[in-house]
A and B are shown apart, each in its own frame.
Chain A
């Protein structure tokens, strides 16, 4: 029996601030010596008080606006209590009843179909520290002791909670991908799943025959897009199997074991804690008056989906091309600059998606680090379009620009392409040279014995190679025919 899948996601996005959410400690903790980015405030030393980082609020509002949320004025923080070694205050400061951004939605395209995913809210909270267990697999079981690193404690997070609007792993993937894209467009977070800047908890259930929601299971410990897909597929199959066999599901939290490719039970609902939420009286309500919100709204860049649609319209790109090019804001900017430099839109799209991507991929580079100015590459593509250069020549030039750090001009000189197309007498001289080297082929053609023009094509190829592609193939064919005709 095929049951409808219902998926809701909670995404923790680490905000790109220089300092932590409630103190002046650096957020640059990756690779830092444990417990060096800490201060009396984030260690909850007696007498200390939290002070809100305004920049984190700006970023949360920015993200909220990007997600079409309503920004709330005067929202408060709550304390969420639990005893754990990674939580110095024994409570986490988070937004509970009053999230700064309410509602909202995100339009995604999954498997070629548009889909609107509604959001419940986006709220601000601080991260906890990190426990390090000295076991082979880094897990608690079997560890004789554990170490605590508070460098991550107090890092600013925004938690984005969706409605249970996704009905397939593909939709979930599309949603996460687009959230990440938006976060990067808005420069709100670097959105790296591997480093933990973007963390996803997945809620999944199967609909009952009467259409009501079934028992919900939460999946944690997922740290790549691929894992989300695999975990969901596994869990959906598991739930279907349990129900098919007449069993009942329990509401629980399960951990995704990426190596084994299975989910395992972590805690059931019965073990759920009472967090004793309590208003954080040490922090004043957040000021997000309409004029402040409007100021942030005015600072927003073009949204990725708007850019994607505009590129299709303005440059005549296909959905797939446009999506690829606008995936990263920097790539989209690069593309537009190439077009501005004279490259035809379709050709520039090809070059961006093929040549540039290939180099980035081979060199493990990010577009922000791509050393060739868009203007120069655009000019190069324009030259190809004007038939001043062949495609092969242009690719040689690009390789020289990248490999030897040459300017466009230098690279063209180096590749012998600065003179542009080889035509007329120069081309005739090359053809004569090739004829001299291939008397047999010339003889065959002259005798009219060149079946299917194979020998002529052979000579043509040699000429093209000799000119390093700078001749126009049509002109080459024509000249050879004239000379031997």
Chain B
């Protein structure tokens, strides 16, 4: 059977109704990873034995007449910065190579408890820093839609495994667009929920106030089921809000845009956006209009002007702080030195790659007395202004549609030749992280060359269910992206 063409919900349904076994689904997924992933390099650790054992447990539960959960037997993969009990977790860095956590991240635990089967850990930019999945110590991941091109980053591996049909769903982490931008480059659906919606416990941190777990799938319905599973209060994460979550998949039933106001972002140079992406936005807006929504225009002058600078101040300051625990003392790469200070220096020099070292140094500088007052403090003030600008916008609008990236998936090497351009590519995604908003990368179409064109939809904080509903309406008209066909 070709399970890889099925949605997660179809797989769970089939497993629960005994049409096929979870074990057969897991076997197909593992087989595909073994054969096809040689081409993409999206999986860095295959969990074959663990996956087959977990799948058999699901089958046994079904045989006993139990309900193993909404994701029964669904194979999934997680970015290698999620802690997985007994399975190496490296952040694709020499610093953590060989490190095996003794616990599951809450998101991983929730997926497993819903019956999902972990089949592998996916490739990423080292410590989630990058937009191309090229800075991994395991080598770059290639975009399954076009292997000449990058899959985006930093959750490039997680977007690629879904696009290649190796698993129906995967988890990434999104600090400044790290789920949505690779989803866009690989032509799948990816979401960054509201900050505080999903527990961050067990994700190796990049920046505490920006990081959020993000689900990746090939359709909005699967994202919604994952949100039902993932979005829960967690006593281990104080920033994971204690509030009654709505039914995210329930929000999709009979979803409509009648009477809704959809804002379209203006105030940027339309010509700076690749034409197929501009066309995708027009098409998304048209679908909303046809679905009964009122279309308005919205300019976000402060956001558009300052977001990238503000983002890098906040993110790198935090990163320098969060990555200070890698000192070679208790875990991770250790180098001997003649004294404590030399040991720290050597361990960190050898453990961290170039991009990570660069960001730690910039971040350390930003938090240093003098720079802190002149750079960091203003950045936090600007962040508040960005947040306020969105609050004002969402007083009148229900959603905002804008580009997710200015360019289509590009060829490898840009992060080395033009890093600033790579950073500036984050202009549309970082806003959601700075303001804590839910945001979606939604596939609209493919270019004749087969490159995906996605758009971004944003909603007010904790409007995640409404966001999914809106996306499902657009998806219904535009169609779901299929996995890459391989011969």
Contacts and interface: CB of A to CB of B under 8 A. Distances in A.
Contacts of A114: none
Nearest to B317: A278
A90 B372 contact: no
A88 B330 contact: yes
A44 B325 contact: yes
A47 interface: yes
A46 B204 contact: yes
Contacts of B236: 49, 51
6 contacts: A40-B102, A40-B103, A46-B83, A47-B103, A88-B325, A274-B369
Contacts of A51: 235-238
Contacts of A45: 101, 330-331
Contact of A284 (B105, B204, B239): B239
B202 interface: yes
Interface in B366-390: 367-369, 372
B203 interface: yes
A83 interface: yes
A360 to B, nearest CB: 45
Interface in A268-310: 274, 276-278, 280-284
Interface of B: 82-83, 89, 91, 96, 99, 101-103, 105, 200-205, 207-209, 235-239, 317-318, 320-321, 324-325, 327, 329-331, 340-341, 344, 364, 367-369, 372
Dominant SS at the B interface? loop
Contacts of B209: 281
Contacts of A84: 340
A438 interface: no
Given A79-B321, A278-B367, A85 B329 contact: yes
B231 to A, nearest CB: 17
Contacts of B102: 40
B101 A49 contact: no
Nearest to B366: A276
A91 B204 CA distance: 16
Contacts of A52: 238
A83 B201 CA distance: 24
Given A47-B105, A276-B320, A276-B364, 20 more contacts: A44-B325, A45-B331, A46-B91, A46-B99, A46-B101, A46-B331, A47-B101, A47-B204, A49-B237, A81-B321, A83-B327, A83-B340, A83-B344, A85-B340, A91-B324, A274-B369, A280-B208, A281-B239, A282-B239, A284-B239
Interface of A: 40, 43-52, 79, 81, 83-85, 88-91, 148, 274, 276-278, 280-284
Nearest to A23: B236
Given A46-B96, A46-B331, A90-B327, A278 B321 contact: yes
A47 B321 contact: no
A341 B99 CA distance: 67
A124 B325 CA distance: 22
Contact of A276 (B208, B321, B327): B321
Nearest to A284: B238
A278 B318 contact: yes
A86 to B, nearest CB: 10
B324 A49 contact: no
Contacts of B103: 40, 47
Contact of B324 (A48, A50, A90, A148): A90
Contacts of B331: 45-46
A46 B320 CA distance: 14
Contacts of A284: 238-239
A88 B331 CA distance: 10
A47 B369 contact: no
B340 to A, nearest CB: 6
A81 B318 CA distance: 12
Contacts of B238: 49-52, 282-284
Nearest to B376: A278
A51 B235 CA distance: 8
A49 B201 contact: yes
B330 A43 contact: yes
A43 to B, nearest CB: 6
A184 to B, nearest CB: 31
A41 to B, nearest CB: 8
B368 A274 contact: yes
Nearest to B211: A281
A276 B372 contact: yes
A192 to B, nearest CB: 30
Contacts of A281: 207-209, 239, 318
A434 B39 CA distance: 118
